[in-house]
Structure 1
Amino acid sequence: MKILILGGTTDSRQLAGALDARGDAEVTLSLAGRTAAPRAQGVPTRVGGFGGAEGLANFIEAESIGVLIDATHPYADRISANAELAAEKTGVPFLALRRAPWVAVPGDRWIEAATVAEAAAIGPDPVRVFLALGRKDIAPFESAPQHTYLVRSVDPIDPPLAVPNAEYVTARGPFSEADDRMLLEQNGIEVVVSKNSGGEASYGKIAAARALHIPVVMIRRPDLPDAPSAATVSEALAWCDHALTVAAMRGV
């Protein structure tokens, strides 16, 4: 049985590794290619797009893929939509691995925003802003040049933001609460802007902001297809057990 995992997240890497270690399936992990030097995945990996839902469906049929799992970032809504359409077209079992979003707890000062553009409208008064966003998401903040920005990204920001005051940190997570608290304190951060990614790997900045009483502009998740889903790698593995058993019974 061949399993194709659409990845790019910690969860996708962990799921691929766990499935590969069992030896009862042939696992391929697909990355979109948005990171210049992706972390080693530990399983056979392909990089690049498929050409939309139709291209993904063609790949599934050409490679005799038996199971498709969407374990992309919660904000990769276009890829998720294409994955569901491709699964419907080809008839392969499909699962979306979607970790649960963070939930505000006492002490959090969250300001919800529907989009990155809405998050960029932080306010007229100049403040020091930590942008914990991907490099493709920060352009809207050029509309608010009065602020001072600290941008952390895996790859360098090129070209840089067209604003008078911006500093850049190139680093790859996970980041601990202690590390992020030091970063926020040393840079005098007054506002954090983040997507609600969920999980532990990037929660450090949220916990650090809470401890320092710093408001967080939290960008809500996009609407995703209503597909069979799992919230954890363990749940996804259990689903795969069932899918592989059914496939074996059918002689696939």
Structure 2
Amino acid sequence: MKVLLLAGSGESRRLAHKLADCPRFEVLASLAGATRFPKPLPVDTRIGGFGGYEGEKEFLVEGEFDAVIDGTHPFAARISKRTFQLCDELSIPYAQILRPEWTPAEGDDWTMIAAPQDAREHIPAGANVFLATGRSTLSGFANLADCRLICRQIDPPEGPFPFPNGEYLVGRPPFSVEDEIAIFRKFRIDILVVKNAGGAPSRTKLDAARSLGIKVLMIERPAPAGGLVLEDVDAALNWLNEL
């Protein structure tokens, strides 16, 4: 069975390792290229976009895939929606791995927001704000000119921070709760802004915020792409084995 794995999440990496040990599956993983030096996967891998709707359609047809597993980041809504639509059009079985969302625990101080620009309504002037949302969302925080912004990203920046009131913090996960507490104390963070990506490994920043009494602005997830949603790697593997 020929499988296209849209990778990018921890779940997709774990699934790739499981599929690599299954001779029944011929797997091609696809990475968007958002991270410059991704860790290698144990299956054949391509890096880069498809060239839009028609480009991805041609890729799926020529690849003669028997199934597509979407293991991209929960906020990669554009590629997920497009792939679902194409698989539906081409009658290719499609499933999306979506780990459960984070939910607040006792002691958390969370406010849900729909988009980065909505953070302005909840952040006072002069606040030190930690943006754990990636550089692709930075334009949405342009209205925080009266705050100090710290944006964490995996790769070293290719240019200066887009606003005079901010800076990049380069770091590659995972981060322990102790790591996050130390960072928040170092920069005297008042407010943490995150996407509701879910997952235990990256929840440490939320646990650190709770420990320090830091307010969290949580950006709500986009809706699922459509079609079958699987919560974990085992469910994805079972689905493939049943095809």
- Under a length normalisation based on structure 1, what TM-score does the superposition of the two structures give? 0.91
8 A contact 2:81–2:226 mirrored in 1: no
| Residue in 1 that maps onto 2:112 | 112
- Superposed CA RMSD: 1.4
Q: Structure 1: any 5+ residue segments left out of the alignment? A: 244-252
8 Å contact from structure 2 (residues 120, 143) kept in 1: yes
Contact 1:11 1:233 (8 Å CA) reproduced? yes
Tell me the equivalent position of 1:248.
none
- Tell me the equivalent position of 2:32: 32
Distance 1:69 1:190, change over 3 A: same
Gaps of at least 5 residues in structure 2 are none
Question: CA-to-partner distance for each residue in 1:212-244, whole Å, 9 max, x for gaps?
Answer: 11110000001222310100111111111111x
Alpha carbons 2:67, 2:92 under 8 Å: kept? yes
The 4+ residue runs of structure 1 with deviation greater than 6 A are: none
Task: Identify the range of structure 1 (126-135 vs 223-232) with the bigger mean alpha-carbon deviation.
Answer: 223-232
The equivalent residue for 1:146 is 146
> How many correspondences in the alignment?
243
- Per the alignment, in what secondary structure is the counterpart of residue 135 of structure 2? coil
- Measured against aligned partners, the alpha-carbon deviations of 1:29-64 in whole angstroms (never above 9, x if no partner) come to 101111221221221110111123332222122111
Counterpart contact for 2:3–2:28, Cα < 8 Å: yes
Distance 2:124 2:103 in 1: 28
Identity of aligned residues (%): 37
Q: Distance in 2 between matches of 1:162 and 1:93?
A: 42
User: Residues 215 and 180 (structure 1 numbering): CA distance in 2 closer, same or farther, change over 3 Å?
Assistant: same
Shift of 1:120: 4.2
Q: State the one-letter code of the partner of 2:128.
A: R
Q: Secondary structure at the match of 1:211?
A: helix
**Distance in 1 between the 2:133 and 2:49 partners?**
22
- 1:3·1:68 contact (CA, 8 Å) conserved in 2? yes
Distance 1:161 1:70 in 2: 32
Which AA in structure 2 matches 1:163? F
Return 200-209 or 136-145, whichever deviates more.
136-145
Deviations 1:104-132 (A, max 9, x none): 11111001110111124443421111110
Q: Aligned letter for 1:80?
A: S
Helix, strand or coil: the match of 1:65?
A: coil
1:55-114 CA deviation, whole Å, 9 max, x = no partner? 222212211111101111111111011111111121111111111110111111001110
Whole-Å separation in 2 of the counterparts to 1:102 and 1:128: 24
Q: 1:43 to 1:120 in 2, by over 3 A?
A: farther
User: Given residue 189 of structure 1, which amino acid in structure 2 is its aligned partner?
Assistant: I
What is the TM-score normalised by the length of structure 2? Answer: 0.95
